[in-house]
Amino acid sequence: MKTIKQMEKIACVIRQDIIKMLEKAGSGHSAGSLGMADVFTALYFSGVVKHNPKKPNWSERDRIVLSNAHICPVQYAVLARAGYFPLKKLSTLRKLGSSLQGHPHKDSLAGIEASGGPIGHNTSVAVGMAYSFKMDGKRNQVYCLVGDGGQDEGQVWEANMFAAKHKLDNLTFIMDRNNIQIDGYTEDVMPLEPLRAKYEAFNWHVIDVNGHSIKAIVDAIEQAKAIYEKPVMILAHTIPGKGVNFMEWEYSWHGRTPKEQEARDALRQLRTLGGKIKSEDE
């Protein structure tokens, strides 16, 4: 379990990992990966979620499922920093034969609970996991990371209805509410607001949170555990491309990677913000 200050530093280093990975890969998704670094750090380093890097298949672990699977660079970096696999493996992102594919594959890498790809698919997977735990009388929690652009998918709302019907209070969704998707700003492509009211109408408990305040994120996750007979949606309001000034709020960085000089500039900014700890090359 890390302190808030320690986690803030880890999140900044994870952003550096993401930049290095994406620049070397030459393809991938920058904005959402950088934007969700604080949320993922809170999940894996605060102690609020049960997991064990030394025993990744521990039956009592909580499940962390990534639905907006294209932001997997942030999950890979966090898993490596948490000790699930060596840091040097991060440099193999999207390489032929690597276990760090452009979308996660469950059987290729420790810590990945569900293969990802089609937007919205893993919302149903997470709901199924939570329902099975309820049926078996188990206390495992399920956390599903979702994107706001993914709310355009009908499957998401079918899963939402099922979760509410079965009162899955062991299920927490955390949405990356960064207001962008690959084709533009969400409110231009397919308006989502009033998003909170929509989830409440589906009988979910909703918590709004600053997605860059690790303390607020941890507090929201703890609050979610106390909600009875309702699934929980945490709307994490984030800045796409967080920490890199030429990426922030620019939807064009949804699916772009930095070139060599851009990566240097980004790393310089992030090191100024958060210092440096052991790199994947050390």
Residue 94 lies in a domain: yes
In a domain, 107, yes or no: yes
Give the list of residues 6+ apart from residue 222 with CB closer than 8 angstroms, or none.
Answer: 48
Residue spans of the chain under pLDDT 50? 280-282
Q: Mind listing the pLDDT tens digit for each residue in 233-242? A: 999 999 999 9
- What's the predicted TM-score (pTM) here? 0.96
The domain that contains 36 carries what CATH number? Answer: 3.40.50.970
* CA 150 to centroid of chain Cα atoms: 13
Residue 282, in any domain of the structure: no
pLDDT for 273: 85
Q: Are 116 and 66 in contact (CB under 8 A)?
A: yes
Assess if residue 281 is contained within a domain. Answer: no
In a domain, 280, yes or no: no
pLDDT for position 275: 56
Give the per-residue pLDDT at 230.
Answer: 98
**What's the pLDDT score for residue 277?**
52
| Whole-number pLDDT of residue 181 | 96
Residues in CB range of 36: below 8 A, 6 or more apart? 71, 74, 145, 176, 211, 236, 238
190 in any annotated domain = yes
Q: Supply the range of the domain harboring residue 106.
A: 4-274
pLDDT in tens, 5-37: 999 999 999 999 999 999 999 999 999 999 999
One-letter amino acid identity for 60?
E
Please give the mean pLDDT across all residues of the chain.
96
Residue 187 pLDDT: 97
What is the pLDDT at residue 278?
52
**What confidence score (pLDDT) does residue 282 get?**
38
Residue 127 lies in a domain: yes
Q: Could you give the number of structural domains in the chain?
A: 1
